Amino acid sequence: MENRDVKLAEKILSLKKKRNAVILAHNYQLGEVQDIADFVGDSLELSQNAARTDAEVIIFCGVHFMAETASILCPDKAVLLPDINAGCPMADMITAEELKKKKEELPRATVVCYINSTAEVKTESDVCCTSANGVKVIESLDAQEILFVPDQYLGHYISTKTDKKMVLWPGFCPSHIRILPEHITQLRKEYPQAKVVVHPECRPDVIALADEALGTGGMCRYARRDDVKAMIVGTEIGILHRLRKENPGKKFTPATEQAVCPNMKLITLEKVLWSLEEMAPEVKVPEEIRLRAKAAVDKMLEIGRG
Ligand code: 13P
Ligand code: SF4
């Protein structure tokens, strides 16, 4: 950490104590933000942590739908998102109104929404899932027909692992579609010993070239295996900070440096400190929406990890 960051970190840690706050950070956050967090993890782990913390304040270093999920699970806590503009373009690729219309076309379908969705979209869904438990969630359902929103690529990946009929909403992650098959083929030539691990938000032709498709938490666990000495990482590049920190001596190469989520990068140490000082910006899901969205999130948490 640079000297300036060390000073900011000290201020954050002392104010965090005073406010009885916990700092949760996603695996894609800037390295210096990950380093001051109480917990760094994937979407599922972050929602599980938010559900069980006894802190009064949650500083959510991630994007808007993640802070909304924390607010859905912890209505009595203040959930702060240090930059209110940190959104997820994929989550905004479907609205509750659009989903309602689609449901009318498919009255028998069970609606599964990726956790990367707005609270309003969750109110129109039967159950949520993350990249870590999508297959398990869908396999656990009685239904034979599934409407999956909003990520067509995660949906497609899950459809290759189940016999259920899946209708996919055409959303996608603008950061993950930057990872191309030619990136993987080129890096396989350069690093023939390396394992190739990609996120299921990647295009199917990229997933087809990988050794594993895993969510970010799964990638961190996979990297710790003794037989993994080098890894080509097909996801947002913020995760490389954690992979390198936890596995000194192993080699991690991004599939492409272009796989950046600009929204994740909006959270900085300055904004975390400002958030704690001002107790803002707060993300609070209105009670009427919260209660309906909570049913889908609770159902997912009951099913657990894949
Ligand atoms: P994970 O749940 O795998 O951390 O993914 C979250 C996300 O936003 C991926 O783009
Ligand atoms: Fe959304 Fe993609 Fe960013 Fe994840 S990486 S938060 S899916 S835009």
Tens of pLDDT, residues 86-105 = 999 999 999 999 999 999 99
Pocket test for ligand 1, best of 27, 176, 197 (most atoms within 8 A of CB): 27
pLDDT of residue 305: 77
**Cis ω on the peptide bond leading into residue 204 (within 30° of 0)?**
no
User: Does residue 240 have a pLDDT over 80?
Assistant: yes
pLDDT digit string, tens, across residues 224-235: 999 999 999 999
Q: Report angle CA 193, 183, 254 to the nearest 5 degrees.
A: 65
Question: How many other CB atoms are there within 10 angstroms of residue 158's CB atom?
Answer: 26
User: Does residue 127 have a pLDDT over 90?
Assistant: yes
pLDDT of residue 284: 98
Q: How confident is the model at residue 1 (pLDDT cuts 50, 70, 90)?
A: confident
Report CA(173)–ligand 1 centroid distance (Å): 10
Q: Residue 213 corresponds to which tokens in the numbers above?
A: 């498709």
User: Does residue 51 have a pLDDT over 80?
Assistant: yes
Q: Identify any residues that bridge with 110 across adjacent strands, giving them in sequence order.
A: 146
Give CA–CA dist 117/121, Å, rounded: 6
| 256, amino acid identity | T
Inter-residue contact 30 to 9 (CB < 8 Å): no
**Local structure of 40: helix, strand or coil:** strand
pLDDT digit string, tens, across residues 56-88: 999 999 999 999 999 999 999 999 999 999 999
Pocket test for ligand 1, best of 24, 29, 43, 68 (most atoms within 8 A of CB): 43
User: Does residue 4 have a pLDDT over 90?
Assistant: no
pLDDT of residue 255: 98
Residue nearest to atom 3 of ligand 2 (CA): 261
pLDDT of residue 41: 98
The label of the residue with tokens 């270093």 reads 61
User: Does residue 9 have a pLDDT over 90?
Assistant: yes
pLDDT of residue 274: 98
Give CA–CA dist 59/36, Å, rounded: 11
User: Does residue 29 have a pLDDT over 90?
Assistant: yes
Residue nearest to atom 8 of ligand 2 (CA): 88
Q: Which atom of ligand 1 is nearest to the CA of 42?
A: 4
The label of the residue with tokens 């599939």 reads 255
pLDDT digit string, tens, across residues 257-282: 999 999 999 999 999 999 999 999 99
pLDDT of residue 39: 98
Mean pLDDT of 44-66: 95
Q: Report which of residues 305 and 119 the model is more confident about.
A: 119
CA atoms within 13 A on the CB side of 83: 18
Portion of the chain with pLDDT greater than 90, in percent = 96
User: Does residue 3 have a pLDDT over 90?
Assistant: no
pLDDT of residue 103: 98
User: Does residue 306 have a pLDDT over 90?
Assistant: no
User: Does residue 46 have a pLDDT over 80?
Assistant: yes
pTM value is 0.97
Mean pLDDT of 183-201: 98
pLDDT digit string, tens, across residues 279-290: 999 999 999 999
126 to 12, 62, 103, 105, 113: CA distances (angstroms)? 39, 25, 11, 16, 8
pLDDT of residue 2: 81
Lowest mean pLDDT: which of 1-5, 19-23, 299-303? 1-5
85 to 174, 203, 223, 233, 281: CA distances (angstroms)? 17, 27, 32, 27, 10
